[in-house]
Structure 1
Amino acid sequence: MRAVYIAPVEALAKERYRDWKSKFEKPLELSVVELTGETATDLKLLEKGQIIISNPEKWDALSRRWKQRKHVQQVSLFIIDELHLIGGQGGPVLEVIVSRMRYIASQSENQIRIVALSTSLANAKDLGEWIGASSHGLFNFPPGVRPVPLEIHIQGVDIANFEARMQAMTKPTYTAIVQHAKNGKPAIVYVPTRKHVRLTAVDLMTYSSADSGGRPPFLLGSLEDLQPLVDGIHDECLKATVSHGVGYLHEGLSSLDQEVVSDLFQAGRIQVCVMSSSMCWGMPLSAHLVVVMGTQYYDGRENVHTDYPVTDLLQMMGHASRPLLDNSGKCVILCHAPRKEYYKKFLYEAFPVESHLHHYLHDNLNAEVVAGIIENKQDAVDYLTWTFMYRRLAQNPNYYNLQGVSHRHLSDHLSELVENTLNDLEVGKCVVIEDDMDLSPSNLGLIASYYYISYATIERFSSSLTSKTKMKGLLEILASASEYAQLPVRPGEEDLVRRLINHQRFSFENPKCADPHVKANALLQAHFSRQPLGGNLALDQREVLLSASRLLQAMVDVISSNGWLSLALLAMEVSQMVTQGMWERDSMLLQLPHFTKELAKRCQENPGGSIETVFDLVEMEDEERRELLQMTDSQLVDIARFCNRFPNIDMSYEVLEGANVRAGDLITLQVTLERDLDGRTEVGAVDTPRYPKAKEEGWWLVVGDTKSNSLLAIKRVSLQRKSKVKLDFTAPTEAGKKSYTLYFMCDSYLGCDQEYSFSVDVQEGGGGPEED
């Protein structure tokens, strides 16, 4: 039996994982795992885990092929937290996975118990019926019901300009803390951006100093006791504010600084913590008072200031709750005056949620066609009846553009929705429609679903790549993926992106610096050049890299389907570059820890013979190596550890029945791979200090004809110890001696690829290719 817990936000999933690991693993001997998003790793985790923690996207990617994956069918408890976010940005994925789990339960013997948790909702009954809860299993409380009662104060500030309004809110924020958080009770202040985090913390520190005249009133311990901790903080500005009892948190702080601030706040040594609004999900801090200072953020893509989603506001308010410590919590919301009535209505009453699935249907229908759940247009309409959207259509027809609510209206609306979506997928070459009814997946559709990539991206890859694409074009096409359309562009960031662009290897023609795709390209190139980035850009770069690995694997598949050899090898090299953070023309030695460009140059010019690869370095005499590298003992240990883990693989191959291959026959090449594990039991994760998360290495085996630049066979291989792989390709139609090249390419390390030439004597006349 397995229990799956879905947290709609990555930060919540991480928090729950930490909490439950200590709660369930030792005391109850239950294995708790958190999914990573790498399919191979996640399948292993799913097999060994009894409590599986995931976000909606990772579970969607894993559960799409539930028919083949028995561990997905063995889920008996499915918990969805914060289900009201079904009306938010990631709502459609949440809706799809819950609908799928209900469908799986209806198709198999296994009963799945679904537990959904949410804030107070006006239409909780619809959600309850949709997940299959009986009236006895549905509990919907009014918004006022909380573990700790909450007093809410909403104040309007009548200044139109955003920055001036934020400035005008600092004094009322300070006053609110002094009034509502008496006797040193903790207060959290939420502000829109990390810039405001710093400004507000400094302002609060200044006001408190002016008022107190002497000892900082927000500092609840003696400064001498705190000094050792304050000295450990890296951020200079943070050091100053913490010394006055005001801490702050935003995503750009080092994890150590974040830990110090949250520990001091939780221990009651500092009274105030200022946070960026996005941290309301992942930070488990609670306080007596929460001040929401401003309820808007800047949306760089639309170039406007937008309201926080109501769900975020409710999440912030929820942090004003300390059961057993307080009889009540307090929340002060400072907003633009015209929005005051709007917030009064929404925060005192339960709010309704609607589905957005109809705007995001393409990839979901494509995935179900690939999985064989939807085989014709009628199946697609039936599939929609499992969704929350289907329940809401008749309840709120205007929202979904319905003309009426009769059975006929509903059925016509669903048919039209399916028809339009499938036509788009057919135009995008992802789905094949036969006799205007039956559906089957095309190669591009299979690739999109397998790598969890949007159909629009695969279509773009397919139409933009050509056999003549070079590195510059390949990076542009990679950055054009619709997965990068959501990359934020913040106020004032265009200049940063412009400066970044000017330093890159490949130039941009008339770049639009506010375009997320241009930004993605610049961040990728900066990663390969190892250019240090600070703040938000470093966070954005992390997101770009995490998607890049998946996108590149899909790109390799698209290129192979076209049979372009050199471009496929180039895309594989780019995958290595993404993992190691370097260019393909850089010294291979830069993958090693503590290596600099200067040291790599010294190795190349080594008097005893040029050292250019990891293997060259391993073969040196110890003394000679020590002399060349001039490193400390601990650094040399790091180097040795890297070299031990660097893939050292023996490869042999033979053409089966190679003596009597006839023209047009199928040639089978058998490849044997064996790894020198150096006494270890298994291969660990790749050594990748520059890649944002643990990654397992993968390999491609490719047979190509370099003369015609054609790729004849390709297989993806994951290799622990030993592996035998067969590659089939068709012999040419003319007899004679034919030369081929076999490539063994890694997706994670540079400099361990292998390449062998072999030839086959093709005899006259076969009966055409044999039937497989």
Structure 2
Amino acid sequence: MRVVYIAPIEALAKERYRDWDLKFNKGLGLQVVELTGETAMDLKLLEKAQIVITTPEKWDALSRRWKQRKYVQQISLFIADELHLIGGQGGPVLEVIVSRMRYIASHQVENKIRLVALSTSLANAKDLGEWIGATSSHGLFNFPPGVRPVPLEIHIQGVDIANFDARMQAMTKQTHTAIVQHAKKEKEKPAIVFVPSRKYVRLTAVDLMTYSSPESDKQPPPFLLHSAEELEPFISKIQEEMLRETLRHGVGYLHEGLSSLDQGVVTQLFEVGWIKVCVTSSSMCWGLPLTAHLVVVMGTQYYDGQEDAHTDYAFTDLLQTMGHASRPLLDNSGKCVILCHAPRKEYYKKFLYEAIPVESHLHHFLHDNFNAEVVAGVIVNKQDAVDYLTWTFMYRRLTQNPNYYNLQGVSHSHLSDHLSELVENTLSDLEASKCITIEHDVGISPSNLGRIASYYYISYTTIERFSSSLTLKTKMKGLLEILASASEYEQLPIRPGEEDVTRRLINHQRYSFENPKCTYSHVKANALLQAHFSRQHVGGNLALDQQEVVLSAGRLLQAMVDVISSNGWLNRALLAMEVSQMVTQGLWERDSMLLQLPHLTKELAKRCQENPGKSIEMVFDLVEMEDDERQELLQMSDTQLLDIARFCNRFPNIDMSYEVQDDENVSAGKNITLLITLERDLEGKTEVGPVSASRYPKAKEEGWWLVVGDTKSTDQLLAIKRVFLQRKSSVKLEFAAPAQPGKKTYTLYLMCDSYLGCDQEYSFCVHVKDSSDPYEDGMRVKILREYRHFTGEGFYGCCGWSNVFNFPISFPRTCGDL
């Protein structure tokens, strides 16, 4: 049995993992895992798991090669949660993975897959149900919006103030009134307040604290449900000073910029009922583990930096915030107060009390999905592409809502023409970006660029930009600019006031811009990447953005290495590999490699470098020192030294041996085969653990590149292979011998993608013989010996092999070199 559960976003996946690990793993002994997004690690997790929790993007990346991955084919139950989000921003990916699982299920006789989808009340639930194979007779259940585990009272109030800040200020007083009104008889009923941004989280919490301050010092704050003395041990752990003050008045707040410790303390105090009010940003609604008797949505708009305007919340986000007013077994009903701009009041009245319709957005995002299916071999011609679309939700909705999809009519011919045009345009764009080739206007085959884009789960526009922008002369600055220009960073948000922060950030980095356009997402991505390498602190929302930039940079750099390798540029490929190490460890390549170690500062690294007797520059130098010398040099506590010891135990120590197969018979123009053996010292461990990288946002498994290059004459990359090494591995590399015979020198590199200072480099020689000789070496020796025997003469020298059977007897005596 293998179950896959799809949560729409990572925060919700983590919440579900915490819940199910307790319920199914500890309770029933079932192996529950959450996928990481690292392909190699996820394949191992998938192999051993019975319940897999993941997001649409991670499952899309893993299931694209389902024909080669038997564990993907062995799914018994596939659960897609929040399926109404198929009409939202991430909807196309959700639609693609459900369509793929349906396709896999229909092509497998021996293994049946059950599909279960969950969503809010929908106006067109029948279309979604029939799409996944749930017929209305026994598999489709669609309840009215008012049917909830806990009945919900919804109050919508309009505020007729045009200015956004002034309107938010007015809403704060109404929020306080709503909390007091709906909990006046039920003092211990908690309330959650959702506000548009981190800025308003603090402002609202402080205002609510002020409004609720007791008239005399003898009275306790009304929102504080326990004594201040009992609360103080928890408040003392809080790092943010303003949060400590609001908590003393029973008001906590949460936003993405808080430390995990602060978030944990506030969450715990609210869950156990010691504080009554929690203010949080609306963007946290999906992963928030808290529920309350009352939810106040204070404003239904947020600032969109890219549009430079205030935009309405997505309707699905609004429904999610309302869902937090549900405490089964604790409340008979929940209450939700929505405060909005007065002109929007009727709009929310209409849609909050009715089931919502959903439509597909897949027709705007077909390129990458088509490319993935071409690479997987599902689409091999244009008719296959049309057939692929018939598995999608979009196909079912085309004739139901033709105007939305720009369909001219609902007849079969109209539908056929529309799909053909959609396929033609999409495939033409893919061909122009060199991801696919179209043969004879019908057959479709993937190109090298298309395979790279599909494997690393990156956009076809990104791979096209890499291919056209990277050159033989690209240096570090240019490589970082090309990396930051990837389409994956286009959705990086630009928030109010961030333009100046980004400008200051980029101007103080190693590679700055003359006139940086700080409203551009790629400039922000570049600034955050360089700040990561410089270990420069960025707080708040920028820290979260930096995590996203760093995580995406890993797979983008691996794709970049493959693009560069396809062009045979050795030094550019090694540079990209070096940047991958920088991304993982949060260091520049010129920094001391000792800074990878925990607790090591720049001053301490400099002291190690200036160590009398022997300069300590590498991790291995530190490992080889005597214990007392090391302790005297580092001057650290035992706990800190233990952390360093753990890092050193994980630091790769690899023995590499290699040989050229049949090196005496390597002919010009033929293939040279290099046999490589890699053996790792695991220090008694059974397997390699995750990379030790405190600056990397999540667990990562180290990977390696084996590279053969010609550094003597052409600076050309001849062979490359990516390997994941445990204890021992044997690898075969093949590359073409040069056309000219003679002695050739090559360089073999072993490059890590995660650690600095553990790469290896070796030179080896190959004697290439002339492939135009009609005789093998053994035949030459035999003929020359026979000539010497029959003539009674000594060996005089070499003559042309073409007339080896009629040596001229008068041939000059020279010292021949056999």
- TM-score of the superposition, structure 1-length normalised? 0.98
- Asked whether the 8 Å contact 1:703–1:743 carries over to 2, the reply is yes
Deviations 1:467-521 (A, max 9, x none): 1100000000000000000011100000100110111001213211011100000
Equivalence map 1:538-617=2 (5 Å): 538-617=543-622
- Asked whether the 8 Å contact 2:81–2:117 carries over to 1, the reply is yes
Q: Distance in 1 between matches of 2:87 and 2:772?
A: 62
Name 1:139's counterpart in structure 2.
141
Name 1:98's counterpart in structure 2.
98
1:126 and 2:132 aligned: no
The letter for the 1-side match of 2:2 is R
Superposed displacement of residue 323, structure 1: 1.5
Name 1:156's counterpart in structure 2.
158
Q: Distance in 2 between matches of 1:687 and 1:58?
A: 23
Superposed displacement of residue 767, structure 1: 8.9
- Asked whether the 8 Å contact 2:214–2:222 carries over to 1, the reply is no
Aligned with residue 400 of structure 2, among 392, 395, 399? 395
Superposed displacement of residue 278, structure 1: 1.0
Deviations 1:71-114 (A, max 9, x none): 11111111111100000000000000000000001000122111
- Residue 75 of structure 1: SS of its match in structure 2? coil
Name 1:28's counterpart in structure 2.
28
Name 1:67's counterpart in structure 2.
67
Superposed displacement of residue 766, structure 1: 4.9
Aligned with residue 451 of structure 1, among 433, 444, 456? 456
The letter for the 2-side match of 1:710 is Q
Name 2:815's counterpart in structure 1.
none
Superposed displacement of residue 672, structure 1: 1.0
- Asked whether the 8 Å contact 2:214–2:221 carries over to 1, the reply is no
Name 1:181's counterpart in structure 2.
183
User: Gaps (5+ residues) in structure 2?
Assistant: 775-818
User: Gaps (5+ residues) in structure 1?
Assistant: none
Superposed displacement of residue 27, structure 1: 2.4
- Residue 115 of structure 1: SS of its match in structure 2? strand
Superposed displacement of residue 212, structure 1: 7.3
Superposed displacement of residue 691, structure 1: 0.2
Q: Distance in 2 between matches of 1:70 and 1:128?
A: 27
Superposed displacement of residue 234, structure 1: 1.1
- Asked whether the 8 Å contact 1:648–1:675 carries over to 2, the reply is yes
Equivalence map 1:246-395=2 (5 Å): 246-395=251-400
Q: Distance in 2 between matches of 1:301 and 1:621?
A: 57
Runs of 4+ aligned residues of structure 1 deviating over 3 Å after TM superposition are 210-214
Deviations 1:181-218 (A, max 9, x none): 22221111000111100000000000011667732111
Superposed displacement of residue 131, structure 1: 0.5
- Residue 16 of structure 1: SS of its match in structure 2? helix
Of structures 1 and 2, the larger Rg is shown by 2
Cα distance change on mapping 1:704 and 1:230 into 2, 3 Å: same
The letter for the 1-side match of 2:586 is G
- Residue 611 of structure 1: SS of its match in structure 2? coil
Aligned with residue 203 of structure 1, among 204, 207, 210? 207
Deviations 1:537-567 (A, max 9, x none): 1100000010000000000000000000000
Equivalence map 1:81-96=2 (5 Å): 81-96=81-96
- Asked whether the 8 Å contact 2:224–2:249 carries over to 1, the reply is yes
More divergent stretch after superposition (435-444 vs 230-239):
230-239
Name 1:46's counterpart in structure 2.
46
Q: Distance in 1 between matches of 2:9 and 2:636?
A: 43
The letter for the 2-side match of 1:720 is Q
Q: Distance in 1 between matches of 2:271 and 2:59?
A: 33
Name 1:743's counterpart in structure 2.
749
- Asked whether the 8 Å contact 1:745–1:754 carries over to 2, the reply is yes
Name 2:799's counterpart in structure 1.
none
**Identical aligned residues as a percent:** 81
Cα distance change on mapping 1:514 and 1:656 into 2, 3 Å: same
Cα distance change on mapping 1:661 and 1:624 into 2, 3 Å: same
1:666 and 2:671 aligned: yes
Name 2:168's counterpart in structure 1.
166
The letter for the 2-side match of 1:102 is R
- Asked whether the 8 Å contact 2:146–2:353 carries over to 1, the reply is yes
Q: Distance in 2 between matches of 1:91 and 1:636?
A: 49
Deviations 1:364-389 (A, max 9, x none): 00000000001100000000000000
Q: Distance in 2 between matches of 1:64 and 1:590?
A: 38
Equivalence map 1:387-536=2 (5 Å): 387-536=392-541
- Asked whether the 8 Å contact 2:656–2:676 carries over to 1, the reply is yes
1:734 and 2:730 aligned: no
Q: Distance in 2 between matches of 1:675 and 1:374?
A: 42
Q: Distance in 2 between matches of 1:91 and 1:557?
A: 30
Query: CA RMSD, aligned part only?
Result: 1.1
Equivalence map 1:634-713=2 (5 Å): 634-706=639-711, 707-713=713-719
More divergent stretch after superposition (570-579 vs 672-681):
672-681
Name 1:537's counterpart in structure 2.
542
Q: Distance in 2 between matches of 1:348 and 1:194?
A: 30
- Residue 662 of structure 1: SS of its match in structure 2? coil
Superposed displacement of residue 690, structure 1: 0.3
- Asked whether the 8 Å contact 2:81–2:118 carries over to 1, the reply is yes
Q: Distance in 1 between matches of 2:79 and 2:225?
A: 40
More divergent stretch after superposition (704-713 vs 416-425):
704-713
The letter for the 2-side match of 1:132 is G
Superposed displacement of residue 680, structure 1: 1.6
Q: Distance in 1 between matches of 2:542 and 2:346?
A: 37
Deviations 1:617-669 (A, max 9, x none): 11122222222111112211211221121111111111111112111010001
- Asked whether the 8 Å contact 1:6–1:81 carries over to 2, the reply is yes
Name 2:9's counterpart in structure 1.
9
- Residue 268 of structure 1: SS of its match in structure 2? coil
- Asked whether the 8 Å contact 1:432–1:439 carries over to 2, the reply is yes
Deviations 1:258-283 (A, max 9, x none): 11111111111111110100111111
Superposed displacement of residue 765, structure 1: 2.2
Q: Distance in 2 between matches of 1:65 and 1:121?
A: 33
- Asked whether the 8 Å contact 1:665–1:766 carries over to 2, the reply is no
Name 2:115's counterpart in structure 1.
114
The letter for the 1-side match of 2:598 is P
- Number of aligned residue pairs: give it: 768
- Asked whether the 8 Å contact 1:189–1:290 carries over to 2, the reply is yes
1:628 and 2:633 aligned: yes
- Asked whether the 8 Å contact 2:214–2:220 carries over to 1, the reply is no
- Asked whether the 8 Å contact 2:302–2:310 carries over to 1, the reply is yes
The letter for the 1-side match of 2:201 is V
More divergent stretch after superposition (671-680 vs 515-524):
671-680
The letter for the 2-side match of 1:462 is S
The letter for the 1-side match of 2:722 is R
Q: Distance in 1 between matches of 2:207 and 2:655?
A: 64
Name 2:802's counterpart in structure 1.
none
Q: Distance in 2 between matches of 1:242 and 1:574?
A: 44
More divergent stretch after superposition (544-553 vs 603-612):
603-612
- Residue 765 of structure 2: SS of its match in structure 1? strand
1:722 and 2:755 aligned: no
Cα distance change on mapping 1:658 and 1:676 into 2, 3 Å: same
- Residue 220 of structure 2: SS of its match in structure 1? coil
More divergent stretch after superposition (475-484 vs 251-260):
251-260
The letter for the 2-side match of 1:704 is G
